[in-house]
Structure 1
């Protein structure tokens, strides 16, 4: 009886690991798409709005879901509280803080940090141009993420279950 419980726990835990890794592959394209939507809302605010950047970030943090909510919320908070710090530093710090809680990888992080270098330092036309470049780079990363999802999501689930079964067979 004890062996059966142990075998079940091993199988369940390895399956859970496989499903968790597979969920990360599924979450990455969704989170990139969410960032693209947030950036299009930011584009609208830059084009037609007259609000300050901290107010725009605050508005986006109330409207969006995680992880964009945390990203824009942290940025708005830093723009309010950190006096004398550049917009880029506020943006970079918010990206660095929220990144461990996302399923996104390093290429998306680099795109967002590069975008932060131009945020709030030039006229509207230049910012819109940089925003479009960022959106196209994120779209390319989203298509790569979808390819990885199609390739690896099902495999990770299966490997989790099969690795658990192999461990149970080897032990017993």
Structure 2
């Protein structure tokens, strides 16, 4: 009976690890898509609106979910609460605080940090050009993430189950 319980625990834990890893591959393209959507909302606000950046970030946060929501919410908080600090510093702080919660990789992080360097620094046309560049870069990353998802998601699930089964067989 104890052996059966041990086998079930081993199989359950390796299966859980495999499914958690697979979820990471599935979450990455979804989160990149959310960031792209949030940036398109920002682009619309820059084009047609005249509100402060902290208000825009809070509005974007209210429309998004998960880590992307948290990113824009924290940026809005930093813009409101930290007098004398640059917009880039607020954006960078928000990215650094939220990044461990995301499934995105360092390439997306660098794209977002590069975007933050230009946020609120130049005129409307220049901002729109930077947003278009960021959107294009994120679109490439999203395509790569979808490719990795299709390649590795099933494999991780299978390896979790089969790895657990192999360990159980070798132990007994």
Instruction: Settle same-fold status: TM greater than 0.5.
Output: yes
Partner of 1:91: 91
Partner of 2:6: 6
Please state how far the C-alpha of 1:170 moved relative to its aligned partner.
1.1
Please give the TM-score of this superposition, normalised by the length of structure 2. 0.99
Residue aligned with 1:36, SS: helix
Partner of 1:119: 119
Give 1:1-172 correspondences, 5 Å limit: 1-172=1-172
Please state how far the C-alpha of 1:157 moved relative to its aligned partner.
0.3
Residue aligned with 2:51, SS: coil
* 1:94-151 deviations in Å (ceiling 9; x for gaps): 0010000011110000000000000000000000000000000000000000000010
Q: Distance in 2 between matches of 1:64 and 1:150?
A: 25
Residue aligned with 2:28, SS: helix
Residue aligned with 1:104, SS: coil
Give the RMSD, CA atoms, in angstroms. 0.5
Please state how far the C-alpha of 1:63 moved relative to its aligned partner.
1.3
Please state how far the C-alpha of 1:82 moved relative to its aligned partner.
0.6
* 1:4-37 deviations in Å (ceiling 9; x for gaps): 0100110010000000000000010000001110
Runs of 4+ that moved beyond 3 A: none
Residue aligned with 2:66, SS: coil
* 1:34-72 deviations in Å (ceiling 9; x for gaps): 111000000000000000101100111111111111000
Q: How many pairs are equivalent?
A: 172
Please give the TM-score of this superposition, normalised by the length of structure 1. 0.99
Please state how far the C-alpha of 1:166 moved relative to its aligned partner.
0.9
